[in-house]
Chain A
Amino acid sequence: MTVAVDLPDRAAAAPRDLSRYGRPAGIVLLIVLLCFLTLYPMVMLLYGSLHSTPPGIPGEFNLDGYVGLVSAENLVVLANTVGISLVKTILSLALAVLLAWIIARTDTPGRGVLEVLITLPFFIPPILTATAWAMLGNAQVGTINLLWRWLTGSEGTLVDMYSYGGVVWHMMQYSTPFIFLFVVDAFRAMDPSLEESSRMSGATRWQTFWRITLALMLPVTTSAFILSFIRGMESFESAVFFGTPVGINVITTTIYNSITQRAQPDYQSATALGFAAMALMFLLLVLQGRLLRGRSFATVTGKGYSPNMMRLGLMRWVTFAVCIAFFVLTVALPIGQLLLSSFFQFFGFYQLDMLTLDHYRDVFSNRAFWNAFANTMLLGVVGATATMALGGIVAYVTTRTRWRGRRLIDVLAWLPWMMPGMVLGIGFLWGFATLPHAIPIYGTLWALLLAYMALGTPVAVRVASSAYQQIATDIEECSRVHGAGWWQTLFRILVALAWPAFAVGWVLIFFGIMRELSASILLYAPDTEVLSVVMLKMWTGGKPEEVSVIGLLMLVLVLLFRWVQLRFIKKRISTL
C-alpha cells in the first residue's frame, strides 16, 4: 500500500521538477548560446575600440577611437548614411506594401508568377546588379542615356547612376523585395473581417486600406522598416560602387577605408565607428518598441476565416502593369544584361565574333567552384534551419511569455544586425581564433556556421515574432488547456500557423548565407572555401563574366526554392 502511494508521488514529482528547473535551465542555455554567438564577438570588438592596438599586440586602453569620430567630415558621413538609408527605406516600404497588397489581396492576373518575379532582385549578388546598372545608367555611354538621346535628339543625360539617386536606386532593388517578402505573408494571413466591418460601416476602399489594413500591418511593417533602414545604413556595395567615385561617403565606406585602404589598418577607429552606428540603431529599436507597446495586432484567431480577394475590375490591369513595371526595371533590365553578357567574351560587348560558352564551361569545370558550392549548400541548409529554429524559440520567449530574462534575450538576438558586417567579421575572427585550441571551431566549417547563425538570428527572430504577433493567444491557451506541453504548443500551434513566414525567413537566411562575404573571407580555411569567396576571387581575377554565370545559377536556385515554397503555402492556405 505504501509502495502504491509512493510511486505516483515520485512520478508526479519528475514533471514538476522539470517545469521548475527546466524553464530556468532553458533560459540560461539560450542566454549562454546567444552570448557566445553575438555578445562574444561584440566584446572582442569593444576591446578593439577601446584599445590602442588590436587583440594580441601590447598597447593601452584609451578613448582615441571615439574621440576621433567627432569631426565635420564624419558629420557629413553620418548625414549621408542616415539620409540615403531613410529615403531608400521609405520609398521601398511604400512600393513593397503596394506590391504585397496587390499580390496577396487583389485579383490581379498572374499573381503567383509575379510574386516569384518581384522577389528575384534580392537574391542577385549586389556587385552584379551594380555592374549591370553601371552599363545601363552611366552618364556617358549608358544604354538608357543613348536611347534617350536617340529618341529625343538631345545631348543631355536622363540618368546618372554615379549620384545620390543612383545609390538610393541600387539599394532599393534589394530593400523592396526584402520588405515585400516580410509583409506579403502578413497580408495573406490577415482575417479580412475587420476590413469588411470597415466597409460595411461606410468607409471607402482607400480609407479601409489606410485605417484598417495598414494599421493591422503595423508590427510587420515597422519591423521590416527598421530592419531595412538598419541594413541600409550598413550597406556597402551601392555606396562604394556609385557613391565613392563622386565623393559620397557613408559609414561603411569610411570603415572600409580605415581597415583596408591604408598601410596601417586602424581597427580602433573602425570598431568605434561601428559602435557609434550601433548606438544610433539601438535608439531606433527603442522607438519601435514605444510605437507598438500596448497594442494588439492579432488577426489570426481561433475562429475560422478565409483571406478574401479584392475584386478590382478593370483596375486589375493597372495593378498588373505596376508589378510588370517593377519587374522590368529591377529584374529584366539588369538580369537581361547579365544573361546576355554571360554568352559573350566580355561584359557589354555584343559582337557576333565574341559569342562564347566558355564562361559556363570554365565555371562548371572549376573544381574549386564545386567544392565551394557543396560547402555553401551544406552551410546554407544547416545554417538556415538551425537559425530559424533558434529564432523561433527566441521570438516565442520574447513575445509570448513573461519569463524573466526575455528582454536580455531579445537584445542579444538583435546585436549582430546593428553592427556593420565588415566590422562584425573581424569580431568573429578575433573571437574564434583566440578560443582555446581544444575547441575546434577556428579553421573549420563550424566557424562559418556559427557566424552565419549569429548574422541570421535577427532576421529569424523578426520573422517569427511578427508572425506570432498575428496569432491570438486564445489558440495557444486552448492548446495548453487541452494538456499540450510547451514544446507541443510551440510546434503544433505557433510554428504550424506561422510556418509560411518561417519558410520566407528560411529562404532569406539561406540566401544571406550564400551571399555573405565579410565574415566568410576572414573565417574560411583552405578546405572550407565558400561560394562568396570564389566569386570574389573571380571578380578580382578579372572574370566578371564568370561571376555572372554563378549569379544566374543562384537565380535558378531561387526560382526553384520559391516555387516549392509557394506551392506548399498555397496548399496550406487552401486547407485553412
Chain B
Amino acid sequence: MQGLVWKFGDDIDTDAIIPARYLNTSDPQALAKHVMEDADPTFPQKVQPGHIIVALKNFGCGSSREHAPLAIKAAGISCVIAHSFARIFYRNAINIGLPILECPEAAEKIAAGDEVRVDLNSGTIYNLTKDETYQAAPFPSFMQDIMDKGGLIGYVQWRLQQQ
C-alpha cells in the first residue's frame, strides 16, 4: 500500500479520534464523518482513501471504543504507523483488520505530506519523498493469522469449523 501521510503527535486519545458526542451511533460511515476532528478539524473533509496516519507515542490511548479504529478504517486510511500504540487500540485494530505498524524511527522521520509505501508482510516502510527506508517488526504469526482471516471474527469462525 502507498499513500500520503497525515502526521499526529503524542498521546492521541480515542476522544480525539472519535469524540463521545458522536457515539450514539456505531455506523462506521457516520463515525468517519467526524474522525480525528478534535485533533485536526480539516481531517474528515480532506482525508482520501489510501492515506496513511503516522503518529508518535501512545496512539489510541483512552477508551476501549472500537469506534476509533472503525472510524479510521471507514475514512479509508490504509495503515497507521506509530512510535507506540495504546494496547486496546492495538488489539482492536488487529481484531477488525486495520493494518498498524509500530516503528519509532518511521514515526520520528516521516513528515506530514510525505508519500510512503508500506509492505506489511516484511514490515518495511519506504518514504518516497525522503528516499528513506525504515524497518518495523512484522506481526507475530499469531496475529498474522487473525489478520489473514480478515480479523478476529473470521478467526473464530475458522476455529469453530476446526472443532
A in complex with B: no
